[in-house]
Amino acid sequence: MTARVVVVGSTNLDLVVTTAQLPRPGETVLGERFRTVPGGKGANQAVAAARAGAACEFVGAVGSDEFAGLLRESLIAAGVGVRGLRTVPGPSGVALIAVDRDAENFIVVAPGANAALTELDADDRAAIAAADVLLLQLEVPLSTVVAAAGCARAAGTTVVLNAAPAATLPDELLDLVDVLVVNEHEAEVVAGGALDALLKLVPRAVLTLGARGAAYADRDGLRLSVPAPRIDAVDTTAAGDAFTGALAVGWAERGGADIEASLRWACAAGAACAQRPGASSALPDRATIDALHDATYRGTP
């Protein structure tokens, strides 16, 4: 079965500099290579889901500047549906990213057009209602995230929220989330703790642990822990997006069953992404995910 995934979220042009060491506050360092790469957590997760095998629709906004065409084309090239991609006056979203030799990064986002995604139209709502999974992040206005989640809940579409960038979440959103995906920093901000604290807020939670893999817990008492593939990371930018996009696809394909299998596949997607530089440029296709998955977990019960 082909998974149907809708993403309501951001698209940014990533301005990426590699550097031996990330600067400290107030410090200037000389970097190395500069690249521009289509990114944004929403667009990355849409591309990740499409490359992982989903029929994926994206609802978002680009500006009226010279970056907009590149951002739109990048989604189309990955096979993502862009009927819901608006063009609004002003700049597109931009992310300033520095990546060091340990593959660590810092990211600063100027939302630009993403901040103008304040309404869902009838076609957006119909796409969400027809999807298996709605995938959300926090780089577009919170009111839009809540509206999309409400539309999904009313239609029986599973709501997966990646609470990134980290923020405290209002009850009106938490009440609509089926699966929350966070890293350790985001878990601390959202719930002041890890899995048990998250389960006080949402029925199912996934905690990503970088090179240590991922953990899962739900209110039915299921607890899972999955190791990550061992890889040489060159850039962890969008690794979380690769994980979340693949998790949404695995979840939809299995109808929410065999969560351990979906977690392993998502870990393979995240690890494969970290082996390549950039955001959307690094997101793996299904064959790449399968190969790393099979090499890592073959023989695992």
The residues of the shown chain that bind ligand RIB, judged by CB under 6 A, are 10, 12, 14, 39-41, 44, 95, 107, 109, 139, 237-238, 240-241, 279
Closer to ligand RIB by CB, 60 or 84: give it.
Answer: 60
Which helix H or strand E contains 143, and what residues bound it?
A: helix 142-155
- DSSP H or E segment with residue 50: helix 41-51
For residues 38 and 150, which CB has a smaller minimum distance to ligand RIB in the complex?
A: 38
In whole angstroms, how close is the CB of 235 to ligand RIB at the nearest point? 10
Query: Smallest distance from the beta carbon of 7 to ligand RIB, in angstroms?
Result: 13
Quote the least distance from Cβ 238 to ligand RIB, whole Å. Answer: 5
| Residue (of 170, 175, 180) closest to 205 by Cα position | 180
Return the half-sphere exposure (C-beta side, CA atoms, 13 A cut-off) of residue 202: 30
Q: Which is nearer to ligand RIB, 12 or 157 (CB)?
A: 12
Q: Distance between CA atoms of 126 and 146, rounded to whole angstroms? A: 16
- The bridge status of strand 12-18 relative to strand 34-39 is antiparallel
Residue with CB nearest ligand RIB? 39
123 noted as active-site residue: no
Smallest distance, Å, CB 13 to ligand RIB? 8
CA angle 119, 177, 249 (to 5 degrees): 90
Nearer to ligand RIB, 45 or 158 (CB): 45
Point out the residues that are catalytic: 241
